[in-house]
Amino acid sequence: MVSNEQINRLGKRILLSNGKLENSDLKELQDFRLSFYEPMRDTFNRLVMIKSQVRTSAIVAFRLKRISTIINKVFREEKMKLSRMGDVAGLRMIFDNDTEVFKARDLILKEFDLSGKIRDYIDNPKPIGYRGLHIYVKDRKTGKRIEIQLRTVKHHNWSTLVEITDFIYGTRLKELGYDSDPEFAEFHSLMSSDKELEKQEAELIYKVLEKRDFINKLSNLFRRNSAKVRAQWNPKMSKNKYFLIEASKTSFPIITGYKNYSKAEEDYFKKYKESDETEIVLATINKPTFSQLSLAYSNYILSYHTFISDAEDIIKNLAIRALEDKKVSRFKNIFCTYETIQSNVLLGIVSDSFSTIVSTTRNGQLTVTSDRKITRSDLNKFLKRLNSSLASRTSKHKHFMQELELYIPNSKYSKWRCEKFLKSHDKRISKILKEQTISVDNQSDKQLLI
């Protein structure tokens, strides 16, 4: 067993290396990580039992801290001894609401020996908006410190949005918060808020959405990845215990399933050494499904997030406020952002409806492909799902348009400007959608146009 003194000396060498470790030090760091596996697995099994007493559908997952993240933390907290890093082994429980989170907390306190104080970021959120409970427990056999994070689905979604933002824009919001990008940090802080936003707060969200082209970049990334990732999940995948997820800006996320943890870690270590550009995580989930993996690791799967629907409500309210203030030009600008959301949601519906096969974007065209013959029956099922989703979306849009009519200014000129602008909405959306040719490729019927 490696002593704490040896681990601390390794930490000092990491600081001197500027992040470029010798192979021997990299191997020692990997061995340090792996020393947490057994206590982490035992903790995981006990948390699964606790989960069953709170909500059986809750998610329990674990991961060893990534090598790159350990190195970054050593540089960020230079005075910390590497042997004292408390979150090398991390487990996460995701529940529906705070009541379940606190019930799980109480059960954990009865079951485990604590190793440090509880960090309550629910009652005391971080400045950037992070919420959750962090509990540190001590493994009774080895004395290793294990971190347990408890979150609601809502707070978990916010947290993964921060990491997705870091991935797309190259920021370091998760690590540095406001020091990374003050405007983006404030944007995420406001998106995490449980209270109704003030007008100026909603205005900042709108400003960032437009300035960073956030909706389009997020939606394009998700559409690019959605079907490709889903196609990797076959019935055999759910029989695996461990999942290696690779995310890259230049290619689709890759999911590899393993039954053996040692083999999974061996491949993780190999892939880490091969590429500095790929984000890699090795994780496990109790009774895994594709939807659970997508929720727990949406920042790696990169195919879905609830953010767009959250942002849509904010933009709708801003549009109504602009009409109330009789600022027609302002309203038109904000409504264009709503149209961006609307068009991306519609394209997402089309892509998702056919994702049980594979949908890809080629030269601006949405194409559905299959390695088998797509029957007319298959196509009818997909179209039924598509029409159902579109009908729901259309209903929401009609309700919003009816609501806007209540706030259109009474003056003839302003009323004329608004009504003329809104009447051309369908044309603008149709133009966006017509730029996407939807076709079906299969072995016998090439380019079956829908």
Q: Which of 87-101, 351-365, 428-442 has the lowest mean pLDDT?
A: 351-365
Q: Write the CB contacts of 89 (distance below 8 Å, at least 6 apart in sequence).
A: 36, 37, 39, 40, 43, 62, 64, 65, 144, 145, 146, 147
Give yes or no for residue 94 having a pLDDT over 90.
Answer: yes
Residue 287 is predicted with a pLDDT of 80
- Mean pLDDT computed over 117-137: 94
Residue 425 is predicted with a pLDDT of 83
The chain-wide mean pLDDT, for the chain, equals: 86
| Distance in angstroms (rounded) separating the CA atoms of residues 394 and 290 | 28
**Residue 262 counted as domain residue:** no
Evaluate whether 145 touches 135 at the Cβ level (below 8 Å).
no
Amino acid type, 306: T
CA nearest to 47, candidates 65, 62, 36, 66: 62
**Residue 129 counted as domain residue:** yes
Give yes or no for residue 348 having a pLDDT over 80.
Answer: no
**Residue 119 counted as domain residue:** yes
Measured at the CA of 200, the angle between CA 167 and CA 202, to 5 degrees, comes to: 45
Q: Which of 318-322, 382-386, 416-420 has the lowest mean pLDDT?
A: 382-386
**Residue 186 counted as domain residue:** no
**Residue 163 counted as domain residue:** no
Q: Write the CB contacts of 219 (distance below 8 Å, at least 6 apart in sequence).
A: 308, 344, 347, 348
- Mean pLDDT computed over 326-334: 94
Domain limit, last residue, from 151, 185, 201: 151
| Distance in angstroms (rounded) separating the CA atoms of residues 151 and 95 | 6
**Residue 94 counted as domain residue:** yes
CATH number, domain at 25?
Answer: 3.30.460.10
H/E stretch holding 369 reads strand 365-369
| 139-178 pLDDT, tens digit each | 999 999 999 999 999 999 999 999 999 989 999 999 899 9
Domain limit, last residue, from 125, 151, 177: 151
**Residue 259 counted as domain residue:** no
What confidence category does residue 122 fall into, taking pLDDT thresholds of 50, 70 and 90?
Answer: very high
Per the model's pLDDT, the better-predicted residue between 279 and 15 turns out to be 15
Domain limit, last residue, from 117, 151, 185: 151
Residue 447 is predicted with a pLDDT of 41
**Residue 167 counted as domain residue:** no
Residue 233 is predicted with a pLDDT of 84
| Distance in angstroms (rounded) separating the CA atoms of residues 344 and 350 | 10
Count of structural domains within the chain: 2
> What is the reported pTM?
0.81
Task: Print the domain residue range for 123.
Answer: 1-151
Q: How far is CA 45 from CA 152, 202, 351, 372, in A?
A: 20, 43, 37, 41
